């Protein structure tokens, strides 16, 4: 796939580098030469351009891009103008970073449905990580999430059937990551975990188990806080 990232501030730069590491073709664009220099050796193409100007956007190979991400962080006017020019030039898919609520409202009025709120999303992930036992989480639509969490103490020694995960909490246990043998931990000097696949109904939870759960966020909270 091919992506164009416009705006190489902290968010845009890291997004471009992450996509490039995934062997994705990335066109990185910024008005500041220093920003472009920081990524030029890591992405497919890096261009200095003022995308608030229509002629600059006209020169970008938009027809080749699967999506254009407008990651401009502080220049409100520059972001809006860039989005407008991209629309006029026929960009297939536009994803825009939101600077503030007014910016988001204007983007919605411009029919931009895919918006990014990195600060809010980062805060949400941190809030989830601070919940008791939650190590990682992935937000899905409709209030559903996938999380990796430490097995709560009350669950130790019970079977999956006895846990009430499905019957009481309407949750699905995707898999369990079990702590590797003590010998392996000594060799690596850190706690390793191994996936056990899909757990059977008679699986008995043990100390140190990491649970990968899918379900409604509110129900997962209830399960972990029991």
**Tens digits of per-residue pLDDT, 1-42?**
899 999 999 999 999 998 998 888 999 999 999 999 999 999
Task: For residue range 53-105, list pLDDT tens digits in order.
Answer: 999 999 999 999 999 999 998 899 999 999 999 999 999 999 999 988 899 99
Partners of residue 4 on adjacent β-strands? 27, 68
Identify the pLDDT of residue 190: 42
Q: What is the rounded CA–CA span in Å between residue 85 and residue 80?
A: 9
Weakest mean pLDDT among 27-31, 35-39, 133-137, 222-226:
133-137
DSSP state of 143: G
Confidence of residue 136 (pLDDT cuts 50, 70, 90): confident
Confidence of residue 133 (pLDDT cuts 50, 70, 90): low
Q: What is the rounded CA–CA span in Å between residue 186 and residue 189?
A: 5
Element (DSSP H or E) covering residue 148: strand 144-150
Structural domains in the chain plus CATH codes: 2-116 (3.40.50.720), 122-224 (3.30.70.1450)
Task: For residue range 191-204, list pLDDT tens digits in order.
Answer: 456 778 888 999 99
**Mean of pLDDT over the chain:** 86
Residue 9 exposure: Cα atoms within 13 Å on the Cβ side: 13
Distance of CA 200 to the CA centre of its chain: 30
Residue 34, Cβ neighbours under 10 Å: how many? 9
Average pLDDT on 141-170 reads 88
DSSP state of 202: T
CB 202 within 8 A of CB 160: yes
Q: What is the rounded CA–CA span in Å between residue 57 and residue 28?
A: 13
Identify the pLDDT of residue 126: 64
- For helices 76-88 and 101-109, the axis angle rounded to 10 degrees is 10
Identify the pLDDT of residue 57: 97
Q: What is the rounded CA–CA span in Å between residue 158 and residue 206?
A: 8
3-state secondary structure of 120: helix
């Amino acid at each position: 796939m091919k992506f164009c990232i416009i705006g190489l501030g902290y968010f845009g730069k890291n997004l471009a580098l992450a996509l490039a590491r995934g062997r994705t073709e990335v066109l990185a664009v910024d008005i500041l030469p220093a920003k472009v220099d920081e990524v030029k050796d890591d992405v497919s193409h890096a261009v200095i351009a003022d995308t608030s100007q229509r002629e600059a956007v006209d020169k970008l190979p938009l027809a080749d891009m699967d999506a254009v991400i407008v990651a401009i962080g502080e220049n409100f006017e520059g972001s809006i103008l860039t989005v407008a020019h991209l629309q006029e030039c026929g960009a297939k898919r536009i994803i825009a970073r939101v600077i503030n609520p007014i910016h988001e409202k204007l983007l919605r009025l411009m029919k931009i449905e895919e918006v990014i709120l990195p600060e809010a999303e980062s805060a949400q992930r941190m809030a989830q990580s601070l919940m008791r036992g939650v190590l990682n989480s992935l937000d899905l639509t409709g209030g559903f999430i996938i999380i990796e969490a430490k097995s709560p103490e009350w669950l130790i020694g019970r079977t999956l059937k006895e846990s009430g995960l499905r019957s009481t909490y309407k949750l699905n246990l995707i898999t369990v990551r079990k702590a590797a043998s003590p010998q392996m931990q000594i060799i690596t000097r850190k706690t390793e975990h191994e996936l056990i696949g899909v757990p059977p109904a008679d699986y008995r939870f043990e100390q140190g188990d990491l649970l990968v759960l899918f379900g409604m966020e509110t129900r997962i909270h209830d399960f972990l806080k029991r």
